[in-house]
Amino acid sequence: MKKQILILSFFSLIITISSCSDRSKIEKEIEAINKDLPAQQGSMRADKIEMVHDTIKYYYTILTDAVEKPNDENTKQAKMIAIATVKTNPAFKKLLNDNLFFSFVYRQSDGSIFWQVQVSPEDYK
């Protein structure tokens, strides 16, 4: 449970893109941010950000052994937190008019996907 709370709270530490809505500018900002990654915060590491079509993907690694994969309820709660973050974090605000998807991918230290949460334009509008 403690590790799940850590994962959820890490949403408030998301490295976000604060440039304007032009796709080329977004991609340049992602490239600039990625130069400073990976960046570790406690038992989490922000690995990279990428833009795939209309989705900005944030990749993280959980550096400690996870107790168990989150259940459906944990995933619903994480999605609600992610939606609230996208709606209220000023760094996301400039991106909301572009109808982008935001995907938060958490991997275990062996590289396997542990958890993934996606926020769609319908979620934050």
pLDDT at 2 > cutoff 80: no
The pLDDT, as a whole number, for residue 21 is: 56
Q: What is the mean pLDDT of residues 80-103?
A: 85
Q: Is the pTM of this model over 0.85?
A: no
The angle, 0 to 180 degrees and rounded to 10, between the axes of the packed helices 2-9 and 72-88 is 20
How would residue 123 be classed by pLDDT, with cut points 50, 70 and 90?
very high
Q: What is the mean pLDDT of residues 16-20?
A: 48
Which of 63, 59, 72 is closest to 102 using CA atoms?
59
pLDDT at 115 > cutoff 70: yes
The pLDDT, as a whole number, for residue 67 is: 65
